[in-house]
Structure 1
Amino acid sequence: WINIEPLRVPRCFATFYVMFDSLYLIGGAGKSLKNPAITESIDTIDVWDAELRVWREFSKITIARHNHSTSSI
């Protein structure tokens, strides 16, 4: 194990996906920015930048989701 930078947005119930040499963290649930007492779905895909050793936003998803799955064919 190694220590890395924390996620941009702490979350649970996300999916983690590996494609080629990239690591993607998709959606999930986290504290609402408007009301931290509320948990809401997250609408971002973050990717691990191995060169800079940080998480960065890769893209937005149309509908925020948590407790979902990902796959490829």
Structure 2
Amino acid sequence: MTLIERKVPVNSSVAHAELIATFQRAQADAAHKLGLIKAAANKGPKAVQAATETATKAVKRRDSYAKKLNKLVGVSLKD
């Protein structure tokens, strides 16, 4: 849980840095899960479907953090 989510008072630069770090982790997670779809291709359609659903959730999470960053600091970090 981040400092912001715990409602700990922090200055804006710490909040921005924390949100950027969270976005970067979400971005790496989404890229990893998108790669898992290719690996699941050899395991059958159910595995591909499960990997696709997981990757979709990770991409939505990444996009949500990108939107928050854009709103907070006006910087677009989306691919």
Q: Do the structures match in fold with TM over 0.5? A: no
Question: Structure 1 length as normaliser, TM-score?
Answer: 0.22
**Higher percent of residues as strand:** 1
Question: Structure 2 length as normaliser, TM-score?
Answer: 0.21
User: Which of the two has higher C-alpha Rg?
Assistant: 2
